[in-house]
Homo-oligomer: A and B are copies of this chain.
Amino acid sequence: MVLGFISQPSIAGLQIETVSYDECMTTSLGTDIQCSIARSLEVLGEKWTFLVIRDALSGSTRFSEFQSSLGIAKNLLADRLATLVQFGVMERRSYRDEGARERHEYVLTDSGRELVYAVGALLAWGDSHRPTELGPTRILRDAVSGERVRLAFITDSEEIVPQDRVLAEIVR
């Protein structure tokens, strides 16, 4: 269905010119503000955030670990972690190394660990469609059996449904 151009003061365009990357985050994405995909991206859609999650899923918890892995400016990393804490993706905990001052570590919550599906999908897509000569950098495995795992769509009765048969029904 072609709705034609709707009247839109070019707010998005102005943002790009005048507002920093950070401030863009709070802007709802798209006219469908109820869309769960857009709502996920409001938390996760900023540059670096998925890589913070990636590292957290691999066991990083300390600011310095994220910082050295990502090579990201400290103020940006602090902002990203604060957003993830704010939205319940990570929990901030105190720790103190012997003789050192108190610091904080960032631990994925249950909600954060569920992002393994999104990160796994980005990993698989990159491996398939933006491969390098060196091959994959990460392989997903069942920690119990050691077998490789991949993402699939399944029904409630655990039948696997091929990707090209999956449709998104728009409910409202």
Min CB distance A103 to B, Å, is: 11
CB atoms of A88 and B6 under 8 A apart: no
- The number of residues on chain A lying at the interface, defined by a beta carbon within 8 Å of a beta carbon of chain B, is 115
Known: A1-B65, A32-B137, A45-B45. 17 other contacts (CB 8 A): A5-B67, A12-B73, A13-B76, A34-B132, A36-B126, A36-B138, A37-B51, A44-B122, A58-B170, A113-B163, A118-B118, A120-B121, A123-B168, A134-B172, A138-B169, A149-B154, A152-B153
Min CB distance A58 to B, Å, is: 6
Contact with B along A1-45 (1 / 0, CB 8 A): 111111010111101110011101000011110111111111111
A40 CA to B143 CA in the complex, in Å? 25
Q: A39-B126, A138-B36 are in contact. Are A71 and B111 (CB under 8 A)?
A: no
- Report B-chain residues with C-beta under 8 Å of the C-beta of A123: 36-37, 40, 168
- Report B-chain residues with C-beta under 8 Å of the C-beta of A47: 24, 29, 41, 45
- Report B-chain residues with C-beta under 8 Å of the C-beta of A6: 67-68, 71
Which residue in chain B gives the minimum CB-CB distance to A72?
B12
A138 CA to B151 CA in the complex, in Å? 20
